[in-house]
Structure 1
């Protein structure tokens, strides 16, 4: 009975993520990045399947089916390499990518796990690795890592460990950085070579930058990622070391009050209350705001005329807070895969540091997961965002590794933040109520005692 109860809790939590990361909310998953030209509405990537023929020394025909996050510069470049370089390595393997938008991929993965269809071998996941592992839906990777002498500690841990096992290979690390408009800095009499170094400076800069028809800062007040980013900026944590919810704290209140002050001072767009995640991106790329604490993908987006009105103006710096939020996407292997060894070879190739470097150099987003790539001085000369991430790397903090992390983000952006910003609730009372709901979810899942 307990196993069935846990399965039901985990399933409902993951299915709710399809709402959290879809069009109905702020959209917090790093990094959707499906932005169209800055003046156009956003659209989800349509599902599609493409086949890459990839060399097996045994000469055996193998088909690998990949449930893939479409709409990202990075994932498009990885696919190109699979269709060319990996094809030369394994010419008799067929790699079929089924692209789905960010809003659907976690739901589809859990349906695959519960239905045992065996339709896919590999998928990309964000926050849901523990949930999939907990119901036996994905394969632990420790034996493959040991067999091939992979130094897993050289990869950024974005939630690939759970219960002392490795369940995923990290393919996309999203570390918050500060994007800012160099021209707007100059117009406001600020030195673009000296961006804000702390939260007090960020607020003062934002006030000075709120001029000439644009806002000084850019954020959605109802986004779980926005709150979590500011919580960490002010030195707070989502949970304490024992796993107890800890965001109902003085630092949590500071995060809320910072957003409230920005609204009162006219520093951020008051329309942000109704924003989705894509609207945040547009708010910066359209030139509507001067600064934006966001994921690294904006560095590449801002350089693309088809997405950006600020080509040649956007710069990057380390996020100015005490800690820095890190999210990202992992590759997992379904337990029902009939081609586990071959699936591992594909996962290993896509996350290999040499592949990651090529993806960046070929125009993919700058989201490396391997430390050798992140701290590659040659790359950093051309990609300022890598240096910005590296400067803050010792301050990186992630969401808790839990089967209930999507429950947490739902509580924040469906209940806590709307109560505060739309209903006028007291910040500490609303945060404490949310922390209590999250704790109960952890208790129900067997992750905390009664």
Structure 2
């Protein structure tokens, strides 16, 4: 019986070995096209009617440009893509290329969830990109991603409203003091009802942290590994924000916010707010829904005459998940995706800020009219835009700061008390 059992076990093991070989062979064949091209699986969250055709055209252009690699686009919804990416890395079957958040590259590098790309990159390649974006993809002197796109905040202002208020439409406010003066002149009020509000600093694509950065000479909450949360300038910025709500009245602010909805009813486009902070792509809403709107753009007003027009930025990178099957081929595609040709096409079709300097400047020079005015302003504004990558020492610091700032703005705690508490809470998170 033992001999029969051993013989049966040997047969089963041999059959399993053959099945495994067959599976590996099929898998290897599946990773190549019929004409022998290596298939690179590229994951993105760009599935809209606008963006999907654009990224797929870039992919098609790359596929047609060479004979060795075929890129396949896999769309995954926003929110799902990064959860599935981490699961696939853990399971050992990740994508070859993925679009990921620019400010958390170091976290993934620290956790060994992304490939080191240093061997594929030289100094000439690095110089293609804006320095403040490149800094986000380097961790412990190694490169783990390549910047793809970014954004920056501008002040959009209604020129017709400026003229009506007796303000020069070619001279937007330069400082916070001027911003307040202009806003009061731009307010239009009938009785207790505002027909138009000059400005409110927390409307648009901006939050309290951006104003704190602007006030504090461009400093974020963590600078060079040191906490910079509880600072006099950041406290002053929060007092300033509270002053706007006090002047307009909380009921007015809430009533206006309740009307915010689709692009068609945007209060700036509708003429109900005279100045508005947003990213460059906000122009596309003006183009589509505010054809008669005469507007201008400017950098964010500075805290005072001696400080900078600091803005906060974000964006996305292209990276190779840890354990990807085809890193060399994946990197060839990333070089095209982030190179001048791919970046220019993306920027022109999406009216989006890209990381490649040559591409960004080419788009700024080729556009015309209002498109050129806004895009050129965003490109120039990248020089005074700060990125705030999440440091590995404080991986979850936003979750400790944001609730405190919310309570400050609700009047539940003073700016000084709140910032002191936030800095204390974040200090306890530090990983050695």
Equivalent residue for 2:320, pick from 329, 333, 341: 333
Report what 2:41 is aligned to.
65
Q: Which has the higher helix share?
A: 2
Rounded to whole Å, the distance in 2 between the matches of 1:416 and 1:279 is 30
Aligned-CA RMSD value: 3.5
Task: Report the CA distance between 1:420 and its aligned residue.
Answer: 0.9
1:262 CA displacement: 1.4
Deviation at 1:172, TM superposition (A): 0.9
- CA shift digits 1:109-159 (9 cap, x unpaired): 33333443424532322322111111111012111113x951346334331
Moved more, 213-222 or 129-138: 213-222
Q: Please tell me whether residue 303 in structure 1 is matched to residue 291 in structure 2.
A: no
- SS for the counterpart of 2:239 is helix
Match of residue 316 from structure 1: 297
Counterpart for residue 253 of structure 2: 270
Match of 1:157 in 2: 132
CA drift at 1:435: 1.7
Displacement of 1:328 in angstroms is 1.6
Q: Does 1:127 align with 2:110?
A: no
The separation in 2 between residues aligned to 1:339 and 1:149, in whole angstroms, is 24
Q: So what's the TM-score if we normalise by structure 1?
A: 0.74
202-211 or 153-162, which moves further after superposition?
Answer: 153-162
User: Quick one: structure 1 residues 121 and 194, their matched pair in 2 at CA, closer, same or farther if it must change by over 3 Å?
Assistant: same
- Give the count of matched residue pairs: 381
Equivalent residues in 2 for 1:69-218 (5 A)?
69-70=45-46, 75-76=51-52, 78-90=54-66, 93-101=70-78, 103-119=79-95, 121-146=97-122, 149-152=124-127, 154-158=129-133, 159-211=136-188, 213-218=195-200
TM-score (normalizing by structure 2) = 0.76
Q: Determine if contact 1:179/1:291 at 8 Å carries over to the other structure.
A: yes
Partner of residue 407 from structure 1, selected from 390, 396, 399: 396
Q: CA deviation at 1:221?
A: 7.8
Instruction: Give 1:351's aligned residue.
Output: 338
- Corresponding residue of 2:211: 230
Q: Do the aligned partners of residues 65 and 76 (structure 1) sit closer, same or farther apart at CA in structure 2, a change above 3 Å counting?
A: same
Provide the rounded CA distance (Å) in 2 between the counterparts of 1:405 and 1:326. Answer: 20
1:253 aligned to 235, 241, 250, which one?
Answer: 235
CA distance in 1, matches of 2:423, 2:49: 36
Helix, strand or coil at the partner of 1:139: coil
How far does residue 57 in structure 1 lie from its aligned partner after superposition? 12
C-alpha separation in 2, matches of 1:127 and 1:405: 13
Structure 2 gap segments, 5+ residues each: 1-31, 189-193, 303-307
Q: What 5-or-longer segments of structure 1 have no aligned partner?
A: 1-55
| Alpha-carbon offset, residue 423 of structure 1 | 4.7
For 2:161 and 2:55, the matched residues in 1 are separated by 37
Deviation at 1:242, TM superposition (A): 4.0
Shift of 1:256: 1.0
In structure 1, what is the Cα distance between the partners aligned to 2:158 and 2:85?
38
Tell me by how many angstroms 1:350 deviates: 1.5
Q: Which of 285, 289, 293 in structure 1 is aligned with 2:273?
A: 289
Spell out, residue by residue over 1:208-244, the C-alpha distance to the aligned partner (whole angstroms, 9 max, x if none). Answer: 2232623222454899x51221012213422465421
Cα distance in 2 between the residues matched to 1:291 and 1:300:
17
Task: Give the match for residue 410 of structure 2.
Answer: 422
Alpha-carbon distance in 1 for matches of 2:58, 2:173: 40
Q: 1:217 to 1:279 in 2, by over 3 A?
A: farther
Which structure has the greater CA radius of gyration? 2
Matches within 5 A, 1:28-47: none
Indicate if the aligned counterparts of 1:207 and 1:267 stay in contact, CA closer than 8 A.
Answer: no
Gap change, CA 1:222 and 1:361, over 3 Å in 2: closer
Q: Structure 1 residues 111, 57: CA separation in 2 closer, same or farther (over 3 Å shift)?
A: closer
Residue of structure 2 in register with 1:13 after alignment: none
Deviation at 1:422, TM superposition (A): 2.4
| Deviation per residue, 1:238-270 (Å, 9 max, x gap) | 246542111211111122122111112229962
What CA distance in whole angstroms lies between the structure 1 residues aligned with 2:395 and 2:267? 26
Match of 2:356 among 370, 377, 381: 370
Q: Give the distance between the partners of 1:344 and 1:293, measured in 2 at CA.
A: 37
**Residues 318, 387 of structure 1: alpha-carbon distance in 2 compared, 3 angstrom cutoff:** farther
